[in-house]
Amino acid sequence: MTRQSDESLWWKGAVIYQIYPRSYQDTNGDGVGDLPGITQRLDYIASLGVDGIWISPFFTSPMRDFGYDVANYCDVDPLFGDLQAFDALLEKAHGLGLKVIIDQVYAHTSDDHAWFQDSRQSRSGEYSDWYVWKDPKPDGTPPTNWQSVFGGPGWTWDARRQQYYMHNFLSSQPQLNLHNPAVQEALLRVARFWLDRGVDGFRLDAINFSMFDPEFRDNPARKSNGVVTRPFDLQLHVHNQSHPDIPKFLERLRALMDEYGAIFSVAEVAGPRPLEEMRAFTAGKSRLSSAYNFDFLYARDLTLARVRKAQEAWMGAPGEGWPSWAFSNHDAPRCVSRWAKGADRHRFAKLTNTLLLCLRGNPILYQGEELGLSQADIPFERLQDPEAIANWPLTLGRDGARTPMPWQSKANALGFSTAEPWLPFGADHAADAVDAQAEDDSSVLNFTRQMIRLRHEMPALKTGSLRFRDTADPLLSFERLYKGQTVRCVFNLGVEDISLPSEETDGVQKVLTSSGYDYTPAGVLPGHAFFIAEIS
């Protein structure tokens, strides 16, 4: 098939809206969101101006890790609906001009998956080598020192096989043996199943955990720099993940996707060498479209140095992949709560959303981020996330970022459900509900809509190159350039007012948008204020 040019690819510079299906909209009164709920809210999503949606897992699952423990890759869990509900969602989304991206979890399955149930029965069955099995050491201890992300050894004893099986996450998430060609073929059949249904892309969960060192060498120690919540953090993860053969599998996946046209693929990459792996996963035209890591997702602050370091790794060198960016998602505390540090949250949310939309790459906007939603404080007795429960109170706070969408400020369960939601709302979420913000021209919601529209109207913001200007923290200034169009983006990342150098207003032809700042050729840029301007 003839490849499209880079500039004509729908996903190049597209704004992606992430949906956590448990928490978007409940339609059957069980307190948990579902696929018909997403379908019901697609008009709202389209009104944001985004190009597509990424839906976190909705596949058959025992939900020990809320869908990231898949028991059947090719079906919908009854909690969320069925395949017909997904098809209806897909049809309506496409009718509204929205692309649909779904998660694919290729590093592990649920221990409820039929493949694992067969694999654990004997060492000689059809699926015996589809997972990672290993005999114990002579003293009965696990084969290696590998630790799991959620705490404890990365191995669990199974009496049926008289062997240990490997897991990088929960013990109920056994590691697939992606070194096995039969496993790769099975996963490619899964991808084809969803491509045949009409999906437009895949987000590949924890893909750098999908292959391990077949020599089973111990991981080296890592010096702790502070309080340790997990033994996992005391190792350099060079053998339990990040095997150099992963890109070869990604090439097979890309070849399959290319049969279906401009399919978008984005890898989640966490670990000791994210940049190196992101480059390998997206290099050239035969691997993935894009990748993102945790440059911003776990960051405790937003600084000039952090932005420059992240973006300067993706400036468009020959053969370089295309980056994606996320400030918040279902795995990380919401950025406004991490970074605002007591400042005006709504004003700060306008800044973070605008910055995300001005970076070179694909912005991934997490549900509620368009509202400036805060991180909810979840009491221990209401926690659902196994990581949060295991590491309380030193937790990543995933439950607080997964709370339901607030739709109606005065409705029961804020319009999310007719029942008690599976997680409670934050104390300030009613005031930030969609209906309240929709009526306020100065709201975070309406400002974000305007900013998304501006990004689409200005090719420089969508796909242009980027160059940083010489400024000192907390003043961040850069320009986006495309075919003679130059857009300057100037942000005060600090709380205090700063004197704006005259160089930042030189050449301004038109201020396209601003927040907290009445443009003057020279003057003061208040804390967390910014402006976006076209330069002559």
Catalytic annotation present for 268? no
The Cβ of residue 224 has, within 10 Å, a number of other Cβ atoms equal to 9
Q: Which of 34, 65, 111, 205 is catalytic?
A: 205
d(C-alpha 101, C-alpha 324), whole Å: 14
Catalytic annotation present for 118? no
The Cβ of residue 507 has, within 10 Å, a number of other Cβ atoms equal to 12
* The token pair that represents 302 in the structure block: 């937003």
d(C-alpha 217, C-alpha 518), whole Å: 60
**Alpha-carbon distances of 180 from 152, 185, 206, 249, 387, rounded to whole Å:** 26, 9, 18, 11, 30
Count the helices and strands in the chain (H runs, E runs): 15, 20
- What is the 8-class DSSP label of residue 25? -
d(C-alpha 30, C-alpha 419), whole Å: 6
Long-range contacts of 503-508 (CB under 8 A, 24+ apart): 503/469, 504/469, 504/471, 504/475, 504/477, 505/533, 507/535, 507/536, 508/533, 508/534, 508/535, 508/536
**If DSSP codes are grouped into helix, strand and coil, which group holds residue 100?**
strand
> DSSP characters for 52-97?
EEEE---EE---TTTTSS-SEEEEE-TTT--HHHHHHHHHHHHHTT
- What is the 8-class DSSP label of residue 150? T
Let me know: does 390 contact 318? Beta carbons within 8 Å.
no
> DSSP characters for 265-332?
EEEE--SS-HHHHHHHHH-TTSS-SEEE-STTTS-S---HHHHHHHHHT-S--TT--EEEE-S-BTTB
d(C-alpha 91, C-alpha 75), whole Å: 17
User: Looking up tokens 């495309």, which residue turns up?
Assistant: 482
Q: Which of 7, 91, 259, 439 is catalytic?
A: 259
**Alpha-carbon distances of 130 from 22, 186, 354, rounded to whole Å:** 30, 10, 45
> DSSP characters for 436-505?
HHHT-TTSHHHHHHHHHHHHHH-HHHHH-EEEE----TTEEEEEEEETTEEEEEEEE-SSS-EEEPGGGT
Residue 213: phi, psi to the nearest 5? -75, 110
Number of residues in the chain = 536
Q: Which residues are catalytic?
A: 205, 259
